[in-house]
Structure 1
Amino acid sequence: MSDFEPRIIAFCCQHCAYAAADLAGGARLSYPDSLRIVQLPCTGRVDVLHMLKSFEEGADGVLVAGCLPGLCHYLKGNMHARKRIDYVRNLLDQIGFESDRARMINISAAMGARFAELATEFGERIRELGPNRLVTPAPAPEPSKSLEATP
């Protein structure tokens, strides 16, 4: 599993987390190449279905990155996102899927190094968990005897 590169979807607030990711990139700080950022006006726009659909479509991990508590540009958007990520983590536990595959972080626009650090830690954790087994192809079923040609 050493060659496994986790596919991570990061839903990022445009005001803080996306700006921090941009700062990290501009400073040439390293974070997982396979991290795909979805820029949102606010993490309060992230819905449970967005996160679950990400897993269904093959993501190995989902990261929601928003403003620091109390500093949301839309007042409480990051708090709504926190409740939704907790709900998704609970759902994942209930179906026997590792809840560590979903995580929320809160950072400011000036925290590029911290974004890179947290994204890298998350990528390493997802690498430990392995590929998303919800989308791993199942082996082909054996042909049924009733479908075989009769002499």
Structure 2
Amino acid sequence: MNKDFEPQIIAFCCKYCAYAAADLAGSMRLNYPSNIKIIQVPCTGRVDIIHLLRAIEDGADGVYVAGCMEGDCHFVCGNIKTRKKVEYVKKTLAELGIEPERVEMFNLSSAMGPRFAEIANQMGERIRNLGPSPLNIKQAA
């Protein structure tokens, strides 16, 4: 494993809960990896399978979706639908010989800034242990 490897991670975050939790983590000055790129979405239900696969294809070493707590989605069931999409992507990656652990879904409320930082740190460590994505030719070499 390359000791200088810094994984590139994309986090699709629900505007109402996960993005607000990320904002709270920042306000609380909690540390989490700066190589996590947060993309705010109106609801995790707007994140499609193609977005997750395209992020991996375009060089992300890991991708996660963070949304409202199950049962508390501002758009009723967007996060439940997205959990199924994430599971489908994980299965597809496994079939392609790519570690399914590179993709994950988390649920949190807007008041969970410390949990957001914990998730970001966990994903950073998980992807660092997996190493560069096999599709990321620049870092795999």
**TM-score computed with the length of structure 1 as normaliser:** 0.89
Q: What is the Cα deviation at residue 135 of structure 1?
A: 2.6
Deviating beyond 4 angstroms after TM superposition, the runs of 4 or more aligned structure 1 residues are none
Corresponding residue SS for 2:137: coil
Quick one: distance in 2 between partners of 1:12 and 1:2? Answer: 29
**Alignment deviations for residues 84-127 of structure 1 (CA, whole Å, 9 cap, x no partner):** 00000000000010000000000000000001001101110000
Give unpaired runs (5+ residues) of structure 2.
Answer: none
Quick one: distance in 2 between partners of 1:2 and 1:24? Answer: 27
Quick one: distance in 2 between partners of 1:63 and 1:25? Answer: 19
Partner of 1:133: 134
Corresponding residue SS for 2:13: strand
Do the aligned partners of 2:9 and 2:62 also contact (CA within 8 Å) in 1? yes
Quick one: distance in 2 between partners of 1:85 and 1:7? Answer: 18
Give unpaired runs (5+ residues) of structure 1.
Answer: 138-151
Percent identity of the aligned residues? Answer: 57
Partner of 1:53: 54
Partner of 1:144: none
Partner of 1:74: 75
Quick one: distance in 2 between partners of 1:88 and 1:38? Answer: 18
Corresponding residue SS for 2:7: coil
Equivalenced residues, count: 137
Quick one: distance in 2 between partners of 1:96 and 1:90? Answer: 10
**TM-score computed with the length of structure 2 as normaliser:** 0.95
Partner of 2:26: 25
Quick one: distance in 2 between partners of 1:128 and 1:87? Answer: 23
Quick one: distance in 2 between partners of 1:114 and 1:2? Answer: 27
Code of the aligned partner of 1:40: V
RMSD: 0.7
Quick one: distance in 2 between partners of 1:38 and 1:16? Answer: 13
